[in-house]
Structure 1
């Protein structure tokens, strides 16, 4: 039994290999954008209807009803907080200027959610009330992410 136990000094420690190589951070915004553009896949974090969403091209996004748009309208997303790829990310402070990144969303449909049932009751008073409600939504199709040269 004593031969199975080794002192702590004789144990070998395995080190984890680094999966990525050391990459220097770009010094200017155009250099950072060109690194992101060179990657095969990009994403953005944008504010739509007051909420932040992680978006990539061809995504279908469901947001609370946008009343001033019609089906087929093309919206330009201007509040972009972050743009990135698999290896690189650039964050805005608080947003990235719209001249650098262009993302468009097309209104696909206006729809309603599932039926919500709200039941109200007062004990011992005989008061019961059932309210049904469907929340309205707008669905958007995200277009390509264009990173503009400067």
Structure 2
């Protein structure tokens, strides 16, 4: 039975640690939550780009499958933002944060290709062999600043 109880020394250390920690109340409204996140030094967002979710911070370089209808230098507005946060606070959407609350822009840097991929097709005992090679196309985006709007 002695193994079920915590020694008195560790219990006292836990109690002392709990006395010094500050208990913070969760914000009750969306604007107050956004202002808390904005007050932090660095923010991040979880956004959908080309059908996938990415964790993004300002000045990140993001490689996504080729976006055919954009050109180099175009600025894209990321509309599907699922989560915005900082080191201490996070706000999640249900499933997304309403449009206009958080603005994130991405600039198209380049259209590029990946490494050469080799696909070997073979049928045994028939002498049939084919080598198919291709390079997957990608678009690279530079993430701009994360603007949290007051409303």
Q: TM-score, normalised by structure 2?
A: 0.90
Q: How does 1:28-67 map to 2 (within 5 A)?
A: 28-67=29-68
Two-structure CA RMSD over aligned residues (Å): 1.8
Residues 10 and 123 of structure 1, relative CA distance in 2, 3 Å threshold: closer
Q: Which residue of 2 aligns with 1:94?
A: 95
Q: TM-score, normalised by structure 1?
A: 0.90
Between the aligned partners of 1:124 and 1:95, the Cα distance in structure 2 is 55
Between the aligned partners of 2:21 and 2:130, the Cα distance in structure 1 is 61
Residues 53 and 10 of structure 1, relative CA distance in 2, 3 Å threshold: closer
Residues 115 and 48 of structure 1, relative CA distance in 2, 3 Å threshold: same
Q: 1:57-104, CA deviations, whole angstroms, 9 ceiling, x for partnerless residues?
A: 000000000000000000000000000000000000110012100000
**The structure with more helix, counted as a fraction of residues:** 2
Q: 1:12 aligns with which of 2, 8, 15?
A: 8
Q: Which consecutive residues of structure 2, in runs of 5 or more, have no partner in the other structure? A: none
Between the aligned partners of 1:126 and 1:72, the Cα distance in structure 2 is 50
The CA deviation at 1:12 is 3.2
Q: How does 1:1-150 map to 2 (within 5 A)?
A: 11-15=7-11, 16=14, 17=17, 21-150=22-151
Q: After the TM superposition, which of the residue ranges 15-24 and 97-106 deviates more from structure 2?
A: 15-24
Q: Which residue of 2 aligns with 1:4?
A: none
The CA deviation at 1:21 is 2.6
Between the aligned partners of 1:20 and 1:10, the Cα distance in structure 2 is 21
Q: 1:19-45, CA deviations, whole angstroms, 9 ceiling, x for partnerless residues?
A: 953210001000000000000000000
